[in-house]
Structure 1
Amino acid sequence: MGIGRIGKHLLHHHWWVRRYFPRSVLDAIERAIRAGEATHSGQVRFVVEGALDGAPLFRDQPARERALDIFSQLRIWDTEHNNGVLIYLLLADRNVEIIADRGIDAKVGAAGWEKICREMETDFRAARFESGVIKGIEAVSRQLAAHFPGRGGGPNELPDAPVVM
């Protein structure tokens, strides 16, 4: 566990999230998720966490491991067609992780998700958080539409609103 990472996480309080993700940006993200889900039967969730604290920080929990925990906590794995996708941003590290349920992950694979993450991180390094997230949601939605087309009036199994932790 590096002292630099601990310091960065201790300094990135919730106000950092509010700075980059005010209500207007969160609303735009929710609209992007809703628009994407109109083209496929998958379920997309976006979670932004300002910084790790407590046990996750002092265990030096990697962003990927944290994203897996959140994927489970939010029950994204519990969709009818196993096609839920979590886009997780750990703001203090500017690290994006995409965790996909087995139905869609088998079709896209780690390399496909990694490419979307790196493109989002490029926008984040330039402080373009809203556009980075929306581009990421659109890219995930294209993958879901290709493999799980149109909801056809089916239920929206998970909330579209972004989660701020």
Structure 2
Amino acid sequence: MRLLRHLFAPSARTLFPAACLKEITDAIVAAERNHRGEICFAVEASLPARAVLAGVDSATRARQVFGELGVWDTEHNSGVLVYLLLADHHIEIVADRGYRGRVTDAQWREACDTIAAGLRENQPKAGVLRAVEMISAHMERHFPRREGEHDEDELPNRPHFL
């Protein structure tokens, strides 16, 4: 059954059209002005059949994407990947080691649940925008921007379609 879901997964571009992507990008840009964290948003419609048959799950794939997109490679170890695997209806957050002991799994799960609620209500953009706010609040608390400090934008702000 899982293989069929991946073979006939919905299009990520249908769910997140160009105007929606621009709003998500703008929200990430605005959020990152308030802290030294980096938010990366990635959507994958489905996995290749080989990966599905090998048992690759969304958490494993999210960790792979975290590495592939270089989310781990920020000066303050403050990158966060928000990963959606549409075929499995799974949302994962992978946070760099700078958050260890600071943000709980339950707090990250709350942001994932917010996106899931938006998807269920056919409001994917609203769910993602709210989750960006929630994630940004954690970043502001743990990686605040100091007055007069310049913070380089280390990761692309535009969502990734994988």
TM superposition score normalised by structure 1: 0.92
Partner of residue 27 from structure 1, selected from 15, 22, 26: 22
**Match of 1:57, SS?**
helix
1:91 counterpart = 2:86: yes
Q: Distance in 2 between matches of 1:105 and 1:73?
A: 21
Equivalences for 1:96-107 in 2 at 5 Å?
Answer: 96-107=91-102
Q: Distance in 1 between matches of 2:87 and 2:16?
A: 13
2:40 corresponds to:
45
Partner of residue 141 from structure 1, selected from 125, 128, 136: 136
Contact kept in structure 1, 2:6 and 2:48, CA below 8 Å:
yes
1:81 counterpart = 2:76: yes
1:161 counterpart = 2:158: yes
1:64-110 CA-partner distances (Å, limit 9, x unpaired): 11000000111111111111000000111221100000102331021
Q: Distance in 2 between matches of 1:127 and 1:69?
A: 28
Partner of residue 58 from structure 1, selected from 22, 37, 53: 53
1:11 counterpart = 2:13: no
How far the C-alpha of 1:60 sits from its partner, in A, is: 2.3
Identity of aligned residues (%): 38
1:6-54 CA-partner distances (Å, limit 9, x unpaired): 11110015xx111111111111111011011011100110000011114
Partner of residue 122 from structure 2, selected from 127, 133, 151: 127
Distance 1:144 1:157, change over 3 A: same
1:117-141 CA-partner distances (Å, limit 9, x unpaired): 1122111112211111111111100
Cα-Cα RMSD: 1.3
**Match of 2:20, SS?**
helix
Q: Distance in 2 between matches of 1:106 and 1:68?
A: 19
TM superposition score normalised by structure 2: 0.94
